[in-house]
Structure 1
């Protein structure tokens, strides 16, 4: 597994909108579907990455908790599903049900949304404010496969709490680290590696 950090794009960057199919409901999802959201958590994840597997229970808990507080949580899988069928829609649906994802889990099959966000790894986490301006882009917490750090979501929770309370974004923001997004052959973006 390639240990790849997030790109750490500029805070204040506007969230690119998208329309992607949620593999669970079968409906297309966009940011416009959440007009009253106090914030938006866009998470690039997948099924097979050990970094995501490590946090998925706690990320599902985060999703249930913060959706209830007004943050729209949307997970996106942008991996090449031909090369990695374990990340295909049926497996995504099973994953969402098995781990209790109470948020859309969308397939970015052409990888255009990952490119629009400059996503590089799984997990790659982007927290935007109600005006869709980037507030936090960083790690879930200090836990990594093989480390003794507990999986708590402390960094993302602190950022989400600050956003909801109208406080400044926490600093410093540490880059997320995970498996590289599995780009389709010839589809690697210029910003990647």
Structure 2
């Protein structure tokens, strides 16, 4: 509406003061008021995010790529590659152990070439010679009869120099019927010595 079309007469309210503003105006904005929102987004938000990440990493609650919090291992047996529960498998039966075969050392055959002395301590004439003949008939090749001297045993005894002659002495014992065998190198002579205090054939 123009001033010419205004139907009412002018009054004191229509007078315009020279100090009054003639339109709507805004005060010019400062540069800080225009840039502070960007400063908040670029500085404050990253700083807060860094602080949150640092705190969570120290407490162990920071999620990892696998989805579980840091410091918490996945329970055993829940993964796809987890080993099967040992309780679900039956133990393998014990392998049958082979039977233990007891082995005995091979028996050394009697040595018929070992020197054998037949000593007569019974006071029976010709006893040593007849006894020696029995050993020769059994296969012994070095048999010599003689009279016994020194201390006589309580019973007829076969003396050997070592256990290596045990099988040879056993053959002498079964041939003559003298069961007593002793290891006595000082009385066995060169191999085997038979001291007779009685007649084995009596």
Q: Name the TM tier (shorter chain).
A: under 0.3
TM norm structure 1: 0.24
Larger Rg: 2
Give the number of the structure with larger relative contact order, counting CA–CA contacts within 8 Å between residues 6 or more apart. 1
TM norm structure 2: 0.24
